[in-house]
């Protein structure tokens, strides 16, 4: 009986070519595994394509809710944003995919897992750190780094390879954006984006969204409720997280929300440029932030922001299955106990405009915040506070003055 390899299979040209290549190079039976994180119609026709390409078996695993509940929401609650802009759409999905690949490999008694990530990108790190953390005994095959046996260097080479193996598939050699899609976002790389001096061709690029200029000249009102940091309703309707993100994607996309153009620092050391569409995710994170403004005290909020930035870097670098990620997430979860309430906002031409936030746990006290004097605040108390708060400044100024006087 042949040994088995589990192939992370998207149905695209790269992973289609990998099926006969793995059989030919290693004499493996190839078990294809497509992990559905919300790719939409990209899953159409996969079963026939895998069969025609010589796969022994195909799994199509739906992990959309698992992805939302166990990977997206911890990042939302942490306020995890990489380099101030990137909402981690691809980064969050890779550990979820790696975990399911390992589960299928165990089920099939496979000796190896193969992925099609290139040797220049972040995904090779994310996949392999995830697989190694969960299954250190399983071999990892990364063809794009195996230049002694993987000789294909272009789409033309891969198409020719497939045709030589009797696989005639609907791919051509025309160039297009390199995309990654899941329920949270769509990323775009390549073509004019490889030159930072060039503006993105949004008319040709965007999938989920329209640009703010093309968004309707009208306001879209949105109301959301949260319980313990988790979204529960959208415009009065109870929904699970995946359904809320789906509807927010529609609303946000129509209104030009969440389109970013960023030059980011990859883990491997180079800078890369990408355009990300994250309409629903941008809205969800903004709504969550608005609620936290009312509820978290100053010190907790400040600490959480620092750890949120660190959490983002951990996720970006593929270190999901680590004690540090677990520890920071535990802290974040402790801050979410009272993040409950209602958030209202208006969507308009790329903008999310506050329209009122309420919570039974709000720390905002109108009597304290008002310019009128309330019972809880005596203006005279500020004098002593300022004296003590400024004491280090006073001592330093006196010392400098003393030194200067001696010099003169």
Task: Please give the positions annotated as active site.
Answer: 14, 94, 123, 178
Please list, in sequence order, all residues whose beta carbon lies within 8 angstroms of the beta carbon of residue 31, skipping any fewer than 6 positions away.
4, 5, 6, 7, 55, 56, 57, 58, 59, 104, 108, 110
Q: Which of 22, 36, 11 is nearest to 112 (CA)?
A: 22
Distance of CA 79 to the CA centre of its chain: 11
Task: Tell me the three state secondary structure of residue 224.
Answer: strand
Residue with tokens 């039976």: 29
User: What distance in Å separates the CA atoms of residue 213 and residue 200, rounded to the nearest whole number?
Assistant: 14
Report yes or no: 287 and 247 within 8 Å, Cβ to Cβ: no
3-state SS of the chain: helix, strand, coil percent to 5? Answer: 45, 20, 35
Residue with tokens 């040994």: 3
Structure tokens given for 121: 């990108």
Question: Which parts of 185-219 are beta strand (E)?
Answer: 186-189
Distance of CA 14 to the CA centre of its chain: 23
Q: Give ∠ CA 92-97-98 in degrees, rounded to 5.
A: 105
User: What distance in Å separates the CA atoms of residue 187 and residue 176, rounded to the nearest whole number?
Assistant: 13
Task: Tell me the three state secondary structure of residue 291.
Answer: helix
């Amino acid at each position: 009986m042949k040994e088995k390899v589990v192939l992370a299979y998207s149905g695209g040209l790269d992973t289609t070519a990998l099926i006969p290549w793995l059989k030919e190079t290693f004499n493996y039976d190839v078990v294809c595994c497509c992990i559905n994180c919300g790719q939409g119609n990209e899953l159409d026709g996969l079963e026939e394509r895998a069969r025609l390409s010589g796969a022994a078996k195909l799994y199509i695993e739906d992990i959309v809710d698992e992805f939302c509940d166990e990977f997206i929401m911890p990042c939302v609650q942490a306020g995890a944003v990489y380099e101030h802009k990137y909402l981690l759409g691809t980064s969050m999905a890779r550990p979820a995919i790696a975990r399911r690949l390992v589960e299928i490999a165990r089920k099939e008694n496979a000796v190896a897992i193969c992925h099609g990530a290139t040797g220049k990108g972040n995904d090779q790190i994310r996949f392999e750190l995830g697989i190694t953390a969960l299954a250190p005994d399983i071999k990892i095959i990364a063809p794009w780094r195996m230049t002694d046996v993987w000789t294909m260097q272009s789409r033309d080479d891969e198409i020719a390879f497939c045709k030589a193996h009797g696989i005639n598939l609907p791919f051509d050699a025309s160039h297009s954006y390199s995309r990654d899609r899941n329920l949270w976002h769509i990323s775009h790389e390549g073509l004019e984006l490889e030159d930072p001096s060039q503006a993105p061709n949004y008319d040709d690029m965007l999938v989920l969204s329209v640009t703010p200029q093309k968004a309707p000249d009208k306001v879209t009102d949105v109301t959301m409720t949260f319980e313990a940091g988790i979204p529960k309703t959208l415009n009065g309707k109870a929904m699970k997280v995946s359904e809320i993100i789906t509807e927010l994607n529609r609303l946000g996309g129509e209104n030009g929300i969440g389109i970013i153009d960023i030059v980011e620092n990859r883990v491997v050391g180079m800078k890369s440029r990408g355009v990300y569409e994250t309409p629903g995710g941008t809205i969800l994170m903004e709504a969550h932030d608005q609620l936290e403004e009312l509820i978290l005290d100053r010190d907790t909020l400040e600490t959480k922001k620092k750890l949120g930035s660190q959490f983002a870097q951990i996720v970006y670098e593929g270190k999901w299955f680590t004690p540090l990620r677990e520890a920071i997430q535990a802290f974040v979860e402790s801050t979410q106990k009272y993040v409950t309430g209602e958030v209202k906002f208006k969507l308009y031409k790329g903008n999310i405009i506050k329209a009122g936030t309420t919570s039974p746990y709000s720390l905002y006290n109108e009597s304290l915040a008002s310019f009128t004097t309330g019972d809880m605040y005596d203006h005279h108390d500020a004098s002593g506070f300022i004296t003590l708060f400024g004491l280090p400044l006073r001592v330093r100024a006196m010392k400098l003055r003393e030194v200067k006087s001696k010099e003169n």
